[in-house]
Every structure is written in structure tokens, then in C-alpha cells.
Chain A
Amino acid sequence: MTSQVVLDSVDTSRRDFLKAGGALIVTFAISDKLAAATPAPSPVKTVAEDEVDGFIAIDAKGNVTVYSGKVDLGTGVRTALTQIAAEELSVPLDRVTVIQGDTLVTPDQGITWGSLTIQVGGMQIRQAAATGRNALLGEAATKLGVGKDALAVKDGVVAPKAGGKGVTYAELVGGKEFRLKLDAKAPLKDPADYTIVGKPLARLDIPDKVTGRFTYMQDFKLKGMIHARVIRPRAMKASLLAWNDFDCRKIPGYIGAIRKGSYLAVLGHSEWAAIKASQIVETTWSEWEGLPEKTRLWEYVRNSKVVKDEDLQKVGNTADVMKAPGMKQIAATYDFAIHTHGSIGPSCAVAEYKDGKLTCWTASQAPHLLRKQLVNMLSMHPDDVHCIYIEGSGCYGRNGHEDAAADAALLAKETGLPVRVQWMRADEHGWDPKGPPTLYDFHGALDDQGNVVGWESEAFLPDRPKEFAVTLLAAELAGLPRDEAHPGNIFQSLAIPYTIPNVRATAHWVAGTPFRPSWIRTPGRMQNTYANECFFDEICVAARVDPLEFRLKNLKDPRGAELLQRLGRLANWQPRKERTQQTGDVVRGRGLAYVKYELARTYVGAVADVEVDRRSGAVRVTKFYVAHDCGQIINPDGLKNQIEGNVVQTVSRTLIEDLQFDRSHVTSLDWKSYPILTFPEVPEVAIDLIDRPTEKPWGAGEPTAAVVPPAIANAIYDATGARVRSVPFTPEKVQAALKSV
């Protein structure tokens, strides 16, 4: 715990005055003490995505600051981005500090989502570093009177390869701007020479996280800050008819309430005063029962108005082959429940409104987008809104962080005081946007030789607005300008990786979904892959072929084939043409699933081992085997941590999680009513990482999750002969499926 502690203290240091590009930039860094005041604005540092100075600054001491629009959501990307920049610049790791998600100083690199932080954000930073390094080599060549090719960089010093006096980065550019456009052709370092990238370096944030020194969003304080709690409607779309805070006034430290439309918040000088007030404030709401009946959810989805049909994949002609005589037809319907993000720390934000300018400290995965949304909600000028990222509890997608930020922003503007809004557990479980319910119909046709000749899939997916934003709750309740809610790229991965002569994968885009939708880990790709890979397994059974062999037979992708072969070895897969009948109450099985993420990047294959108790229907996942190819690996241990996390979280989603609701509101408002997987139920995980140092690095935050539900479903079939086609695979559903065998 030695060297990294130093580094960590850089990023969590007090108000850092960073010299960047010769201009004094004030970054309002996190403090465990009270931060003093709103940051001095008017920086001149560029945030342009096509400028080296957008991403990188080197100060007079040779310290490197990396400006990243992508943020670390607890996945370890701060460490990985530090590795990428240090490697490409050839400077020691501890000379590099990453500033994340500050809209004043970091480029807008898009939302931190979709497993794109390394693949896109990291590669922009790598290219900026390479461009800078190349320019510095040129400068050094002039200065030293040596040809550029005869120079090498080590630890931030450019020196002749043959030996002799060198020149430091600090001497070459320290405290000055590069003033260079990002050069897509700037030569990248040869991966064979890597000393930092590809190594399992310890994460920079962990020492502080295990000693209580780390400052999460929930820990951030401003001087004079007050506390707020938002009073949510009793029914999701109810209107606030009346309210009365008479009893609240007896609470020491109670300040008052803010009401705007159906938005109501209580304020306190202390957090406890705000909490107590929120418990006793009297409210009257209108009636609203617009949610579907939980027991008829799939009927509701199926009968939703289809706005548009879209073929996501079309090969040959499925219509003819499905009707052709002599074909073996199979059909199946799958569904996947509504899930909440379930962050362990409920969302939190702090905002301050001063002299017409708003500053918002947020754990949002999208500070730049949030800024635009706050500008829209509060009808402010973009220059007057500043969002600053501080890591919060893991969010796994768009949870409540942005809504808490909107709460804080609205209340800061209304009161003129610095406001901290901390959601309570019921706020997070009840009001974070949800992963929408998804329904599928599949049809397949096999010829008399057992070849799959036809594949049709139809997915019922909630339609999307143009912009990738999610409606801010505060804006909706207060009747302020707002965006429509986008469910994420949920159509991806419905197209299949297999070479079947006739394929049609169709999205039925339906109008609306019961809850405000958003993306939650592996949005759509998990549900789509689940349905695809379950149906593929059903086809294997119909064709009486081994599921691994049949995938290899229908795959014309050498990289995918190699992955599957390695998975087979890792799991010691024994080929089977049909399942083995077992006796006894507890039966065991294994299932396999594969994905090429979005048919464009990371390859993952998984085998699940399960035990099913035939008396109770309870499923226990005992072990997962994962083979993973995301190209060049930046940090193999960080990658394994992500893969393990994907498996465990998705086993939880697959076996247990199911949002509960009545006609008015979510009723699973705590961990008892929306349980997640606990320690005794967690499976072992064995991983085979396929490293390809000379390939592009692809993402790893999501793809593994895609193969987890189908591997489990297929293992349950192998164990029992019963198909469960509805996530979560609860004991009741498994028992029902067992009865139909």
C-alpha cells in the first residue's frame, strides 16, 4: 500500500491549481474537509476532442494530467486510463493524474456506457498521447541536433538511443500548450515494448477505499450546505394536491419546504432534520392506477401498440422455408423481467447556484449530458452550468444519480443555498429508471438432415426517442422542460453470429413501457442473447447434436471458433447428443452460451454448472467457466474483476430479481422485497483470458453478462429436461416447468 497511496492523494487532493497549457486552471477537487466556494470559472483550457490539449497537459515538473470525459464507475478504468497514457507517453505511472468528467476541463467523450470507455475513450487518450509524444520527439530532435529516429523516450526523458544527454518533457513543453490537432496517423508504441499496459497493476483507488479515506459523492460537503429530501408521489404519476409541514416546524434544524408543481422537498440544516421532516410532512395526492397488473405484464407488452417493425438481420427468405414440407418446426417464447439497478449507495448530489451560475457535483455516468439536461430543465445558458464528477456507488447504467443531480440543481436554484440531496433506499428502489420488460417469439426450421435452415426472432422492445437521455424526475414532477426517456441500444445482439441460410431478426418497437426506462448493464444485448442462445440450445436438442459442436459447425469466424474451443477445454466439456437422465431429488447439469458482442466486438463464451432441487424447484449455480477475448488487454486483473462481477451480478438477475409493483407504484422498495444474490449462493468462476496485444482493445464491462442467463437456462434443461423461458428462474417457475416435462 505504498506507491499508490501517493498517486491517490493527487486525485483526491484539495483544490488543485493545475497549470495546464500555460493557463491557470482551477479544478474543484474533492475534499474531506469543507470545500471553500464555487470554483473560479473562465478557464482557457480547451475541451476540444480533436486537440491534444483537450486530453493531456504536462506541467513544469513533468507531471502529466489526463482529462477524461469518461468516468470510473467503480470498474477500475481510472487505473486503466492511467496505464494507457503513461505507457504511450513513456512516463512512470505515478507521474500521471486523471481528471474525470469535469465539464469545464474534460472533453465530452460521451456517456460512460456500452463497454466503450477503453475501446473509444481510452483510444482517444492513447492517440492524444501518441500525437504529443511524436511532437515532443520532433522538438527534442531539433534541440539535441539528433535525428528523430535516433531518439527514445524513457521516464519522460527524450535521449539519443546511442546514449548521451537528453531533454525532459518538462523542458520541452512543461506548462505550455501543445496546440496540436489529434493525429490519427501518429505512430503508436509497439505493444512488444509495453511495460505498463497489459500488466495486472493494482488499482489506484483501492487503498483509500479500504481505509475510509476515499471521498465518494455521498461524502462531499460544501460550506453552508443544507440537506434535502424529496417527497415522492404515492402513485407514480399522481399530482400533488395539498401539503402541510406544520409538524415539521417543531424539528430542530428544519428549514422549510419547496413545492413546484408535483415536486415537493423538505430542507434541513442537518441531514437528520430533513429525514425526519420527510417522514412527517403531510401530503395529499391524486389517484393514479396506470401501471399494468403484474400478473398480466406479458399480455400487456404483447398487446402494446407497435409503432414500427424493423428487420435487424435478414438473410435469405425465412417465410418460404418455414412453410416448406418435411421441415421440423420448433417455436418458443421467452421473457425477461423488469430490473432495478440496485446500487448499494442510494443516489446523491450537491449543487450550488451563485451569481447566476450553477455548479453540480454528481456521480453521473454522463456529466456532459447531464449538463445539457440541466441547462434545458432550468432554461439556463450552457456557459452557466458546470458539472463535476465524483465517484459514487456503482450504478451499472443510468440509475438515480442524474435525478439526484436534478433535485439538487433545482433546489439550489430555488433556495440560493448549496444543497445536498441524498436519496433514501425506497427512492432508489422505487424511482430509479428500470430495465424494461422484454418479450420474444422464436421460430426455427430443421431439415431432415438436422441442419438449421430457418431462424426467426421477434423482439418486443420499447420505442426510442432520438436523444440518448433519460427524463429527469425533477423536471417531470415540477413541470419543467425535459427530455423523453431512452431505453438504450437495446436492439443490439438480436442479430445472430451463426451462418444459417435463412434468418430474420425483427424488432417490434412498441409504444411505451410501464416504467421510465433506461439502460442497465448489458441493456438489450443480455436479453437478446439470452433468447438467442436458449433457442439455439433448443435447436441443438431437436437436431440431437452437441451444443458446442453445433455452434462451431455454424460459425464461420475463426476468432469465435478459437474462443469456443478454449472454453471447451477450460470447462472440460464432454460432447453429448442428448441429456442424461438422472435420478434423485437434486440433479446436475451444464449449459453453454456464446456471444460476439453486437456482432462487432468482444467474444465471450460461458459454461454454467447448476444443481436443481426437483422438490423445491430451487436452482443453485455452482460454477461458471468464461472464455473472454476483448483484444488487447490493458489490465488483466481489472478485466478478471469485471468478468467475475458480470457473472455474479447476472446470476442474481437471472435467478432472483423481479420488480414488484401494483397498479400505482413499485412495491419492492427495499432489499427484502427485491433481494439480490448473497455470499452463500455465489458460484465459483474460472476464467480464460485470450490476450491479443496487437489487436484493438474492446470493452469488457458488459459482454460477459450477456451469456450468463442462457448458460443457466440451458444447464437447467440439461439437469431436468425442463425448459424455463422466463427470467428470473424462480423455484415456482422451475417447478411449473418440471410438471410439464
Chain B
Amino acid sequence: MKMGLNVNGKPVSVQVDDPDMPLLYALRNDLGLHGPRFGCGLGQCGSCTVHIDGKAMRSCSVPVSAAAGKKIVTLEGLGTSAKPHPLQRAFVEEQAVQCGYCINGMIMEAAAFLQTNRKPSEAQIREALAGNLCRCGTHLRIVRAVKRASDMMA
């Protein structure tokens, strides 16, 4: 069946055999997006995070059918190299990446969080990202980058 989605501000249509297929696979394989990443498929690590109607959601655990008609934003839609989101700029300025596989989730989770708390403390940032895993140990830089972005957005 054809399914209509709204991704990064544009209406798109994907051919879906199974409405229960996680949104992640539609974004990555049908729409060719690289921002959301497959990490666990269990909602445990956060690599696949996207925004659905402004909320940070784990796209590995949302059926594609449940996302139809909602506004989906991925890392690509948040900003570009030419017009980066403050978080993307802050992550570059803080060099807050090692392998970078988790970084999509860090930025998307933080972007949604900064909508609800514009002036977070370091402890609040740590709590907000507690469900996002990083194996390279880039945490301290990530926290500094989120803090920097919140200052930029103030």
C-alpha cells in the first residue's frame, strides 16, 4: 500500500507492505535519510530518534502507520551545513563527536528538550539525555554542546 508521510516539511509517499514496519526503515531505506540510525531496535539506545509532532520519539519502535499524517522531522530537517541548527553548530564548536553513531539521537533528543527547558542546568541536561547511549565516551562534550546551544538560543 502507499502511505503518505510528512517528512522535514514535505509530503512524501512510501510503498509499505506492512503497516507495522517501524518508521525507521521507511525513513532510511525508502526515503534515503541517514540521520536516524539503527542501534538496537528496542528503544533502548536513542540512535534512531526523530521528532514526531515536535516530540522526540524512537523511530525503531513507532510503526510507520502510526506516524502517517503527523509531522516528522529528522536530523536532516533540523538544519544543514549551510544553515545549521544551533545544536548542530554547538556540536561542531565543542567537537562533541567521536564515531558519531549516537549523535543523531543526542541532537534530536536535546532539540526537543530545549523546547521545554530553554535554560537548563548541566544536571538537567544529563538527566534529559540519560536514555541516550554513547559508547565512545563523548558525554562531557555533548553536555557542553547542549549548554552552548541553549546559550545561543537564549
Residue of B nearest to A215 (CB): B34
B112 at the interface (CB under 8 A from A): no
One of A216, A644, A647, A649 near B34 (C-beta < 8 A) = A216
For the A-B complex, the count of residue pairs with Cβ-Cβ distances under 8 Å equals 186
B136 at the interface (CB under 8 A from A): yes
Contact between chains at A218 and B97 (CB < 8 Å): no
Interface centre among B35, B81, B98, B103 (most CB of A within 10 A): B98
Q: List 17 A-B contacts (CB under 8 A).
A: A32-B34, A74-B98, A74-B136, A205-B97, A206-B91, A207-B81, A209-B103, A218-B37, A271-B25, A343-B101, A344-B99, A345-B39, A393-B135, A394-B135, A645-B136, A676-B135, A679-B129
Contact between chains at B17 and A252 (CB < 8 Å): yes
Bound-complex Cα distance A1 to B87 (A): 13
Q: Given the known A-B contacts A213-B81, A424-B41, are A345 and B141 also in contact in the complex, defined by CB atoms under 8 Å?
A: no
Bound-complex Cα distance A647 to B88 (A): 25
Nearest 8 Cβ contacts at the A-B interface: A74-B99, A648-B137, A212-B35, A394-B99, A209-B100, A645-B137, A393-B101, A252-B17
A342 at the interface (CB under 8 A from B): yes
Contact between chains at B99 and A391 (CB < 8 Å): yes
Contact between chains at B135 and A682 (CB < 8 Å): no
Contact between chains at B34 and A344 (CB < 8 Å): no
Residue of B nearest to A212 (CB): B35
Q: Given the known A-B contacts A1-B81, A344-B47, A344-B102, are A422 and B38 also in contact in the complex, defined by CB atoms under 8 Å?
A: yes
Contact between chains at A680 and B130 (CB < 8 Å): yes
Residue of A nearest to B44 (CB): A671
Interface centre among B135, B139, B142 (most CB of A within 10 A): B135
Q: Given the known A-B contacts A1-B84, A425-B41, are A680 and B126 also in contact in the complex, defined by CB atoms under 8 Å?
A: yes
Query: Which chain B residues lie closer than 8 Å to A76 at the CB level?
Result: 98
Contact between chains at A218 and B135 (CB < 8 Å): no
B57 at the interface (CB under 8 A from A): no
Count of interface residues, chain B, beta-carbon cutoff 8 Å = 61
Interface size class of A (residues with CB under 8 A): 35 or more
A688 at the interface (CB under 8 A from B): no
A182 to chain B, nearest CB (A): 31
Query: Which chain B residues lie closer than 8 Å to A203 at the CB level?
Result: 95, 97
Chain B 49-78, CB-CB to A under 8 Å as 1, else 0, gives 000000000000000000000000011100
Bound-complex Cα distance A5 to B89 (A): 13
Bound-complex Cα distance A342 to B107 (A): 21
Contact between chains at A641 and B37 (CB < 8 Å): no
**Residues of chain B in range 92-119 having any CB-CB distance to chain A below 8 Å:** 92, 95, 97-104, 107
Interface centre among B40, B80, B141 (most CB of A within 10 A): B40
Bound-complex Cα distance A680 to B126 (A): 5
One of B21, B29, B42, B88 near A211 (C-beta < 8 A) = B88
Contact between chains at B42 and A206 (CB < 8 Å): no
Bound-complex Cα distance A557 to B122 (A): 41
Contact between chains at A346 and B38 (CB < 8 Å): yes
Contact between chains at A394 and B136 (CB < 8 Å): yes
A272 at the interface (CB under 8 A from B): yes
Q: Given the known A-B contacts A394-B135, A682-B140, are A74 and B34 also in contact in the complex, defined by CB atoms under 8 Å?
A: no
**Residues of chain A in range 1-38 having any CB-CB distance to chain B below 8 Å:** 1, 5, 32-33
Bound-complex Cα distance A1 to B94 (A): 12
One of A33, A273, A342, A644 near B135 (C-beta < 8 A) = A342
Bound-complex Cα distance A74 to B29 (A): 24
Add 14 more A-B contacts to A211-B35, A272-B17 (CB < 8 A).
A74-B136, A205-B100, A211-B75, A211-B84, A213-B34, A214-B34, A251-B17, A425-B40, A425-B41, A641-B98, A645-B138, A648-B138, A671-B40, A676-B135
